[in-house]
Structure 1
Amino acid sequence: MALAAAAVALLTVAAVPAQAATAPGPGNDVSWPQCGKALPKGQTFGIVGVNNGLANTTNPCLGTELTWAGTSKGGTGQPLVALYVNTANPGASGSWWPASNTYGGTPVANPYGECSAGSYGAACSYMYGYAKAYDDATIRGVSNPASYLWWLDVETGNSWSSETLANRADLEGMAAYFASIGARAGLYSTRSQWDQIVGAVPSASNLYTLPSWLAGARSLADAKRNCADAALTGGGKVTLTQYVSGGFDYDHSCI
C-alpha cells in the first residue's frame, strides 16, 4: 500500500502544470513636470530627464528622481537607470552659440570643418550639440556620467534649424561627446518629428547605429506592436517604446 500511495503522489505532482514565468512590467520616464508629485511605483527601470525642458537648463528634481529610478526592480534588457536630455539647434535665437571648435578648454575634432563666429551651419551646429552634451555630463549634477545610457530627446517643440543637415550635425556632436567619455547614447522621437528635424541619416554618421526609443503609442498593446516599427536610423534597432497611461509615461522594453 505504501508503494502504491507513493506512486499516486508522484503522478499527482507530475500532473500539476508548471507556473508560467511572469513577464516583466514596464518602466517609466520622469522629469521636471513630475517635480513635487507622486512618482510611479514598481517600475522595472527608470529614465530621468536631465533638463528643465530646454537643452541649456537643469531639472531641479534631478537628484530626487535619480534616487527614485534607483529603486527599479529590473528584469528587462534596459539598464535600471538611464537618462534623457533635451536637444535643440537654436542658432541666432539661442542665449549662447559657439564661435570656434573649442569647448571646455579642449579643441574638438569637427567633421564639418571650422566653426566661426556668425556661422549657423553644420560646423557650429556640431559644436553646439557637443557643448550641450558636455554641460549635461559635467554641470547638471550627474555623478559618473560615463555609466549611463543617454537618450537624445528630439522633438519639434524645441528650436531647430530649417536645415536638416545642421540639425543632424548638432545631434552628432552630442553623440560624439558622450562617446568620448565612454557613455552610450540613443535616439528618442516619433517618425514624423524625426523626419522633419533630421531626415535620413547616412551610414557614415555616428547616429546610424544608435538604438531608437519610439514615442506615440496610446496603450501597452500599441507600444508592443511598435517594437516592430522601423528604427529612426537605417542601422539602428527599436529597443524601447513609450505610451501614456494615467498621467504617467510608461516604457516597454523591446529587448
Structure 2
Amino acid sequence: MRTKFLSLTASALAALLMAAPQVSTAQAAGVLVSGAGGTDISWPQCGRDNPEGYAFVVVGVTGGRPYTGNPCFADQYGWAAGNKGRATEVYVNLDFGMNPEGPLSCMDGEDFCQAYNYGYDAAAAAYTYAARVTNGATFLQQVWWLDVETENSWSDNVDLNSFVIQGAIDFLQRTEGVTAGVYSTSHMWELIAGSYAPTGIPNWVAGAGGTDDYGKCGASLWSGGQVWAFQYLNFDLDLDQNTAC
C-alpha cells in the first residue's frame, strides 16, 4: 500500500518510519564460526578463477552502483552456493539519489521522502535482479549487506543519506527470511551518514590490518553496532579476505 505524505520534515518522516511495523529477521552472528575465513567477489573478478578454500563467500549483486547488475553474478553465486559446506552471503552497492515514486508518494521538495524511496527501490531492484538471473535461487539467501562507501556519490547532507540507507534496510527487513547488514568503515560511515545508528543491523567492517585483526570485532560502524565480520585487502593476492567475529 502506498501512503500520501504532505510536507514531511526529516523528523516527521523519521517518527513515522520508526512507528512502522518491522519484520525482525536478525540472526545470530554464530551462523559463521568465529575466526572462519571468507572472501568477497563481484564484477571486478569476472573472468577470474574463483578463490577456493574459504568458509564463506560474499557475492556482489550490483555492478558497483545501485540499479546496475554484476554481469557475472549468476555464475559467481552459483559457484559460491554450490558448495553446501560454505556459507554464502550477498552485498548491494548504495549511493545517493531521490525518487518521487516508490513505497511513499512524495510531493515536490520532499527530499527526505524521495531519498527514502531511492534507497528502498535500489534494494528492491537488486533483490529482483538477483532472483531473475539465478532463477529464484537467491530467494533462500539470508544475509544481504548494503555497501556504503565514499567511492560512490553521496549528498553533503548526512540526514538525506541516512534516509537512503534506511529505505534500503526497510525493504530487506520486510522481505521474509532476510537479514540486512551494512558494510563500511567507521570513518566513511560518519562522513556519509553522520551519527545515524540503525538498531539491530549487523556490521561488516572494512580496513583491517590483516586476517587476524580481531580488534575490528569491537570497532563497530556506529555506537552500539555489532560486528559480524571484518575485511582485509590482501594486495599480494589481489583479493579481499574476511574473518568472522
Normalised-by-shorter TM-score class: 0.7 to 0.9
2:126 aligns with 136
Match of 1:237 among 226, 233, 236: 226
2:88 aligns with 81
**d(CA) in 2 for partners of 1:197 and 1:120?**
20
Match of 1:58 among 65, 69, 75: 69
**Structure 2 counterpart of 1:232, one-letter code:** L
Give the Å deviation of 1:225.
2.2
2:24 aligns with none
Question: Aligned with 2:76: secondary structure?
Answer: helix
Report Cα offsets for 1:147-172 as digits up to 9, x if no partner: 32110000001111111111001010
1:99 aligns with 100
**d(CA) in 1 for partners of 2:192 and 2:150?**
7
Report Cα offsets for 1:202-241 as digits up to 9, x if no partner: 5xxxx2220100000131122x221122x22333201100
Question: Aligned with 1:181: secondary structure?
Answer: coil
Q: TM-score, normalised by structure 1?
A: 0.75
Question: Aligned with 2:182: secondary structure?
Answer: strand
**Structure 2 counterpart of 1:219, one-letter code:** G
Report Cα offsets for 1:4-34 as digits up to 9, x if no partner: xxxxxxxxxxxxxxxxxxx864111000000
Give the Å deviation of 1:145.
3.2
Report Cα offsets for 1:75-121 as digits up to 9, x if no partner: xxxxx11110000113xxxxxx4223xx3xxxx2x5xxx5234x362
Q: Which runs of 5+ in 2 are unaligned?
A: 1-33
Q: TM-score, normalised by structure 2?
A: 0.77
2:78 aligns with 67
Contact preservation (8 Å) 1:210, 1:233: no
Match of 2:205 among 189, 192, 214: 214
Taking only the aligned residue pairs, the percentage that are identical comes to 33
**d(CA) in 1 for partners of 2:210 and 2:35?**
16
Report Cα offsets for 1:176-215 as digits up to 9, x if no partner: 111111211001001110000001125xxxx222010000
**Structure 2 counterpart of 1:239, one-letter code:** W
Report Cα offsets for 1:15-57 as digits up to 9, x if no partner: xxxxxxxx86411100000000112111101100001111110
Contact preservation (8 Å) 2:119, 2:164: yes
1:123 aligns with 2:113: yes
Question: Aligned with 1:99: secondary structure?
Answer: coil
Contact preservation (8 Å) 2:95, 2:148: yes
Q: CA RMSD in A?
A: 2.0
Match of 2:59 among 43, 48, 64: 48
Q: Which has the larger radius of gyration?
A: 1
Match of 1:195 among 175, 190, 193: 190
**d(CA) in 2 for partners of 1:226 and 1:218?**
9
If asked which structure has higher relative contact order (CA below 8 Å, sep 6+), I would say: 2
**d(CA) in 1 for partners of 2:116 and 2:140?**
21
Match of 1:176 among 165, 170, 175: 170
Contact preservation (8 Å) 2:89, 2:141: no
Question: Aligned with 2:171: secondary structure?
Answer: helix
Question: Aligned with 2:164: secondary structure?
Answer: helix
